[in-house]
Amino acid sequence: MPPDSTDSTSTAPTPPPCNTRITRFTRFKPHASTSQILPVVFFTFLCYLTIGIPLAVLPGYVHGDLGYSTILAGAAISLQYLATLASRPLAGRTADTLGPKQAVALGLTGCALSGALLFAAALCQPWPGPSLILLALSRILLGCGESLCGTGAILWGIGRSGPTNNARVISWNGIATYGALAAGAPLGVALMQTFGFASLGLAVLALAVAGYTLARRVAPVPVVHGERMKYRSVFTRVLPHGIGLALGSAGFGVIATFITLFYAAHHWPNAALSLTVFGTLFIGARLLFSNAIRHYGGFRVAVVSFALECAGLLMLWLAPDAHVALAGAALTGIGFALVFPALGVEAVALVPPASRGAALSAYSVFLDLSLGITGPLAGLIAGAFGYSSVFLFAAIASAAAAGLSALLYRRSRQALAADHRQATTD
């Protein structure tokens, strides 16, 4: 792993995008930022690989092998999301007070314990009750591990590369997240078919232990000392940005949940191709345009991103054939790619450096909520108006997010102007 290196001889006050009164930044060498970021977002990749491996297999195991209802099969998956949501505040405070490296280590420990419990659940398959309880505990620990590792890795990357690279760190972390989920699901299916369900637990355990071992070899970054805001105050401060994130995430939610049913309703082939194209262009846009946030500001990038996402969703809503639908999915992937980092850098800039972890965790809550709410709500809409209508619903949400981002940008400009007038008067 590359050593932690910063240019400590050159420091200057660099204002965050929307509040010049918050903090004092250190300038970091731009060419070194990616090499500083990748080693720590790799732990995010390993964490989400442990999440992806059982994702496609677990419902079938609960329903088919243990003999429980589809409701309980779905609940087994949802438990992890609920645990992630509930543990977000703890993850933020842990990263802020104990340090990002410790948060990542604790997160990977949770993933390892989850794998051990998953393996134990497989051994208890002849006794469905104990097996289901072990599975539930495994999902809860995996959810806690996700929030700790994800938040810690972002802050670790920021600490290594500098706050001026916030957007790049968040973008790479997202690439690691979605890449791992995309790789984990087919890997889990292959393991299940070849070695049986117990192999999933062993694979999760092995990956988490390997990640923990590697994490111990990477240099930590100093814990940021100073003012720490109460979590409630942090949550209130990032609330508008979180609402924008929640609205914009509806597009991803409906595509992930309903695109295959949408294609089937129209008797179109290659529904999986639309998901592949969405994911590929999502990652490509993050790689190509992550610097746009630093050059143009998070709010302006967010407005453009939401507009592109809205256009792609409208194409899906009106698609007369599979080719137009595929183009709509591609445009939606490009638009959604920079939503999280664009609003995220603006949200983090609103709090003191010692509360960045709390801000990230509070902001991420809205992604969890959006993905949790979008599925059932869009299902109701699809049942009443057809599958095409869910894309119109998501397009309206994206348009609302674009309007909210424009209002936040205008408010930030007014705040900067007021600060300038006050500084001139003083």
In whole angstroms, give the CA distance from residue 288 to residue 301. Answer: 13
Average pLDDT value for residue range 293-306: 92
Predicted confidence (pLDDT) per residue in 352-380, tens digit: 887 888 888 889 889 888 877 887 788 88
Spell out the domains of the chain, with CATH numbers in brackets. Answer: 31-223 (1.20.1250.20), 226-426 (1.20.1250.20)
Please list, in sequence order, all residues whose beta carbon lies within 8 angstroms of the beta carbon of residue 157, skipping any fewer than 6 positions away: 36, 37, 40, 41, 165, 169, 172, 173
**Is 59's pLDDT higher than 80?**
no
In whole angstroms, give the CA distance from residue 250 to residue 336. Answer: 10
Predicted confidence (pLDDT) per residue in 141-198, tens digit: 999 999 999 888 988 988 888 777 777 888 888 888 878 877 887 888 889 888 998 9
- Count of beta carbons in the 10 Å neighbourhood of residue 216: 11
State the pLDDT at residue 314: 97
Which of the four pLDDT bands, split at 50, 70 and 90, describes residue 25? very low
Q: How many CA atoms lie within 13 A of 68 on its CB side?
A: 21
State the pLDDT at residue 70: 66
State the pLDDT at residue 23: 36
Residue whose tokens read 């999915």: 329
Select the highest-mean-pLDDT range: 5-14, 29-38, 146-155, 396-405.
396-405
The two structure tokens encoding residue 347: 């949200």
Which of the four pLDDT bands, split at 50, 70 and 90, describes residue 15? very low
State percent of the chain over pLDDT 90: 35
State the pLDDT at residue 144: 93
Reported pTM: 0.76
DSSP annotation of 61 reads I
In whole angstroms, give the CA distance from residue 387 to residue 259. Answer: 8
State percent of the chain over pLDDT 70: 89
Average pLDDT value for residue range 250-262: 84
Helical segments of 267-354, H only: 271-289, 291-296, 298-318, 322-337, 339-348
Three-class SS state of 410:
helix
**Is 212's pLDDT higher than 90?**
yes
**Is 319's pLDDT higher than 60?**
yes
**Is 32's pLDDT higher than 60?**
no
Three-class SS state of 181:
helix
The two structure tokens encoding residue 370: 């959006």
State the pLDDT at residue 11: 36
Strand partners, 11: 26
Give the alpha-carbon dihedral of 79, 309, 154, 23, to 10 degrees: -130
Average pLDDT value for residue range 211-215: 93
- Count of beta carbons in the 10 Å neighbourhood of residue 389: 17
Average pLDDT value for residue range 238-248: 94
Average pLDDT, the chain: 83
Q: Who wins on pLDDT, 301 or 92?
A: 301
